[in-house]
Amino acid sequence: MDRARVGKPIAHTERLIFALDVATRVEALDWVEHLGDSVAFYKIGMELLTSGDYFRVLNELAERGKRVFVDLKFFDVPATVAAAVKGLTRYPVDFCTVHGNHAMVKAAVAVKGPIRLLAVTALTSLDQHDLSDLGFACDPRQLVLSRARAALAAGCDGVVSSGLEAPLLRQEIDHRLIVVCPGIRPISNDDQNLSDDQKRTVDVRQAFINGADYIVVGRPIRTALEPLAAAQAIQQEIADYFK
């Protein structure tokens, strides 16, 4: 998609976000050391939060010149969500995720400062059956589109969405919306051999063809026989696409 290629001035090396889904600071820093210059952007989520070293790791990533994506999916009454997001502005955070309705998102937007706020649309681990169980009487594409429109109207900078829904977002919503796509598998959706909980996935190239600005990759790098080589291969694929 041509608009995805020329839409935003993003360094190619920063389009890959590595999911630092580990339980301890030692593991986190081991990954940062091992991956070196092959990864410039890291996502830290709930697993590391329980280590007690979450914000220490956050600061250490920034000290190493890495960009930081805080993926804690804040969801609570608007005042509590706002307080949590405002607290994050004391740290070197690039992206932060928030869940919830218009009031929650609006409260977060009002205090986000320089942080780019991303609204979660529909988790990539959920398929149509799961969404029906949760009471959503629509297909994932329409749910993602509806939530993305609401997020942009509330002042969010972007959304987290499966790459499968990215084309619809680019077609229907202003291109200024940042689209971050998790559930990336470097092999095709039909042939993937990873045993995990992701259901709505695309490969690296297809994510960017569909309109992603950034991709989040975790297990395909962490479980690779040679993780550094896996990260470098993804970076090469991104560079080749954006030539």
Residues catalogued as catalytic: 73
Distance CA 47, CA 38 (A): 23
Q: Which two tokens stand for residue 138?
A: 């629509």
Q: How far is CA 216 from CA 137, 180, 181, 221, in A?
A: 28, 7, 6, 11
Quote the strand ranges of the chain, DSSP E. 16-19, 41-44, 67-74, 95-98, 116-120, 158-160, 178-181, 214-217
Cβ atoms of 214 and 15 within 8 Å: the answer is yes
What is d(CA 45, CA 51) in angstroms, rounded to the nearest whole number? 11
